[in-house]
Amino acid sequence: EDGDSSEDESGPLGGEIAVVYAVGAIESGEGDATTIGSVTTAEALRTARLASDVKAVVLRVNSPGGSALASDVIWREVSLAKKEKPVVVSMGDVAASGGYYIACNANKVFANASTITGSIGNNYLF
């Protein structure tokens, strides 16, 4: 016997902290290696929220923003996740516009001194 109990209640992700990467421009749909897809990212956050073995979620944001609707879909999943477990954002080089928006709803937000962040939309005509 390897000492691992068959009574172990591990969830499907196999760890205590889930890391979700949000890298690139934010777009509706699936996204790819260079874009943040609202469907894929929301699904990853939902999976982490529902996994019994995940005690906290880290959302790593490196994004200049993009679609307002896609950003709102992700923001909602961050909101739902933080009701269940702590959500911490780690900002990379940039978290601006929609990237800032998906980050601002977390329990804690960490940024580097050199992170470019802020600016949620300013498209008003005067």
Task: State the pLDDT at residue 126.
Answer: 44
CA-to-CA separations, 82 to 8, 89, 111, 121, in angstroms, rounded: 25, 11, 19, 24
Per-residue confidence (pLDDT) for residue 62, from 0 to 100: 97
pLDDT at position 122: 54
pLDDT of residue 4: 44
How confident is the chain (126 residues) per 10-residue block, as mean pLDDT?
41 77 96 94 96 95 95 97 97 95 96 88 51
CA 111, 116, 119 angle in degrees (round to 5)? 110
Residue 71: per-residue pLDDT:
96
> What's the rounded Cα separation, in Å, for the pair 109 and 76?
16
Q: Return the pLDDT at 1.
A: 38
6 is catalytic: no
* Dist. CA 103–CA 54, nearest whole Å: 19
Query: Given 6, 67, 97, 119, which residue is catalytic?
Result: 97
**Token representation of residue 57:** 């979620």
User: What was the pLDDT predicted at 13?
Assistant: 58
